[in-house]
Amino acid sequence: MECVRVLELYSGIGGMHYALKESGIPGHVVAAIDINTTANQIYRHNFPDTPLWNKTIEGIALDDFNKLSFDMILMSPPCQPFTRIGLQGDISDPRTKSFLYVLDLLPRLHRLPRFILLENVKGFESSAARELLVKTLTGCGYSFQEFMVSPTSVGIPNSRLRYFLIAKMSTSFSTQARSEVRSQARSEVRSQARSEGMSQAMSQHSQSSTSDRVCIQLPDVFPHFAEADSSEQPTVLSPTCPGSCQSEEEVREGQVLYKLETAADAQRKRSQNQDLSIRQIQDFLEPQREGDLEQHLLPPRTLLRYALLLDIVQPTCRRSVCFTKGYGRYVEGTGSVLQGCTETQMESVFAGLDQVSEEEKVQQLLKLKLRYFTPREVANLMGFPQSFMFPEGVSTLQQYRTLGNSLNVVVVSRLLQLLVS
Ligand code: SAH
């Protein structure tokens, strides 16, 4: 295969670049573009020879893109407009503007890239932005596939369920037909993007009309796909049922056992930990030197306030929850913490907690030696190679923040292999 010229949009710390390397596809990143100075500093440290443009994407002219003459686009547009906990501003969110610009630009390029890969959060699949993306791709003559994949599918003990779209230029499409639909797609994208106030209605429309196009069929690339735990299964087509229609059994399952954990949660975690297709957390840990551990321990104040909300894992576990950009700063839902001392039983510590004084509570909890995963360990769980480094001067919280915005390198590399195969 000839060397592929790759354009990396929203490049961050270079997760896509690492995935390209990991995929073995002969490729060369001709430009990486991002506006975040910390992320750019990290990118430059690791890829000093790659042209990195510190510019807003929407500020770059068509001509400058044409000059790059790329064959592939890799991109992770900002995900905040599509997250379930966010406001779901979708295409009316200002942070989607640059992505709409990319969609407007695509049909006008002198030469369309042969391959496109896009990554985003769960929620994107039912957005108006996705609808526009699909229209643009179809109009330009691409065939595409969409997936919801988590790293557990490739044997990594970390959840990070994400939406992916891979698109390939259909060779059967005649040049004449292509130029006709391209101009049509162009005007459609423009007029739809202009009517920002309609985003809500469009999003509902997309949910009802396009879900049948979402296909999940990956046995070769993701051997453990079917075995992933139920929370990791694609939920695109099955909107969750509100609490009012829970069965009696589900309600019983929902009763809190300890540590705000229900019987169903405990059962799910148990079965994840028994899934031998997934590696153990300990394979991803750094060898700890004396004293190193101390700086990552959870402080007593955090233990006291948030102990019940922590997702605690042991080195032998085969699961951990998604690390987000708030890891190390906020506790709830930002990522798992590690139990450093496994001789003490977690259940026994938590069992008597509500009957003791605050001081005693802290003493009990300290016995577990709960600590944050180090940035290196988070990078390991996200599939970054050992050669990936943070430059000096980037704080631990900045490291967590940029990693939390990034992606699982192994998952993307498999999708790239699928795309070019
Ligand atoms: N895939 C990347 C992370 C993408 S997160 C990685 O591996 O790290 C989205 C990135 O888009 C952020 O780094 C953010 O700085 C960048 N971004 C957001 N809006 C942008 C814009 N208008 N122009 C350029 N970059 C932008």
The pLDDT tens digits for 15-39 are 999 999 999 999 999 999 999 999 9
Q: Look at residue 209 and tell me whether its pLDDT is greater than 60.
A: no
Helical residues (DSSP H) of 55-198, grouped into ranges: 62-68, 97-105, 128-140, 175-194
Mean local confidence (pLDDT), 56-71:
97
Average pLDDT score over residue span 97-116: 97
34 lines ligand 1 (CB under 6 A): yes
Residue 119 CA: which ligand 1 atom is closest?
1
Share of the chain above pLDDT 90, in %: 64
pLDDT of residue 345: 86
At 203, is the pLDDT very low, low, confident or very high (cuts 50, 70, 90)? very low
Counting from 1 in the atom list of ligand 1, the atom nearest the Cα of 56 is 23
Above 60 in pLDDT, residue 208? no
Render pLDDT for 257-310 as a digit per residue (tens, 0 to 9): 667 788 888 899 999 999 999 999 999 999 877 677 788 999 999 999 999 899
Instruction: Report the separation in Å between the CA atom of 41 and the middle of ligand 1, taken as the mean of its atom positions.
Output: 13
Taking the CA of residue 75 as reference, the ligand 1 atom at the shortest distance is 1
Question: Mean of the pLDDT values across residues 77-82?
Answer: 88
- What are the extents of the domains in the chain? 4-249+408-420, 263-404
Q: Give the range among 50-64, 202-216, 309-323 with minimum mean pLDDT.
A: 202-216
Using DSSP's 3-state secondary structure scheme, residue 152 falls into: helix
Give 89-100 pLDDT, tens digit per residue.
Answer: 888 888 889 999
Please give the model's pTM, rounded to 2 decimal places: 0.85
Look-up of token digits 């490729």 = 27
State the pLDDT at residue 172. Answer: 56
Architecture of the domain defined by 4-249+408-420: 3-Layer(aba) Sandwich (3.40)
d(CA 34, CA 413): 21
CA Rg, the chain, in Å? 23
Q: Measure Cα distances from 101 to 8, 11, 73 in Å.
A: 15, 16, 14
pLDDT tier for residue 160 given thresholds of 50, 70 and 90? very high
CATH 3.40.190.10 fits 263-404, yes or no: no
Average of per-residue pLDDT values in the chain: 83
Across the range 354-367, mean pLDDT stands at 91
pLDDT recorded at residue 175: 55
**Would you call 81 exposed, middle or buried from its count of C-beta atoms within 10 A (0-12, 13-18, 19+)?**
buried
Q: What is the DSSP string of 232-284?
A: GS--TT-PPPPGGG--HHHHHHTSEEETTEEHHHHHHHHHHHT-TTS--GGGG
3-state secondary structure (DSSP) of residue 321: coil
Cβ atoms 369, 340 nearer than 8 A: yes
Q: Tell me the pairing of strands 312-313 and 337-339.
A: parallel
Confidence class for position 65, pLDDT limits 50, 70, 90: very high
Answer whether 36 contacts ligand 1 (Cβ < 6 A). Answer: yes
* Cα gap 296→374, rounded to integer Å: 7
In this predicted structure, the answer to whether residue 184 has a pLDDT above a threshold of 60 is yes
Instruction: Answer whether 4-249+408-420 and 263-404 agree in fold.
Output: no
Q: What is the pLDDT of residue 245?
A: 33
Averaged pLDDT, 108-122: 96
The Å distance, Cα 213 to ligand 1 centre, comes to 27
Choice among 180-189, 263-272, 336-345 with the minimum mean pLDDT: 180-189
What Å distances lie between residue 259 and 301, 306, 347, 353, 384, CA to CA?
Answer: 17, 10, 9, 10, 32
Over pLDDT 70: what percentage of the chain? 78
Closest Cα to atom 9, ligand 1: which residue? 78
Distance in Å, CA 203 to ligand 1 centroid: 23
pLDDT (0 to 100) of residue 23: 98
Kindly report each contact of residues 236-243 with a partner whose C-beta sits within 8 Å and lies 24 or more positions away, as own/partner: 236/125, 236/126, 236/148, 236/211, 237/211
Cβ partners under 8 Å of residue 339, min gap 6: 312, 313, 314, 346, 368, 369, 370
37-46 and 396-405 helices, crossing angle to 10°: 90
- State the closest ligand 1 atom to the C-alpha of 57, by its place in the atom list counted from 1: 23
Q: Contact 155/111 with Cβ under 8 angstroms?
A: no
Is 80 exceeded by the pLDDT of residue 237?
no
Other beta carbons within 10 Å of 99: 25
Rounded distance, CA 279 to CA 69, Å? 41
Cα–ligand 1 centroid distance for 236 (angstroms)? 25
pLDDT at 183: 65
Res 142 pLDDT > 70: yes
Q: Is the model more confident about 317 or about 343?
A: 317
Q: Tell me how far apart the alpha carbons of residues 371 and 232 are, in angstroms, rounded to a whole number.
A: 25
Task: Name beta bridge partners: 261.
Answer: 258
pLDDT at 324 over 80: yes
Q: Contact 163/119 with Cβ under 8 angstroms? A: yes
Closest C-alpha residue for ligand 1 atom 7: 15
79 is an active site residue: yes
C-alpha angle with apex 394: 392 to 398, nearest 5 degrees? 160
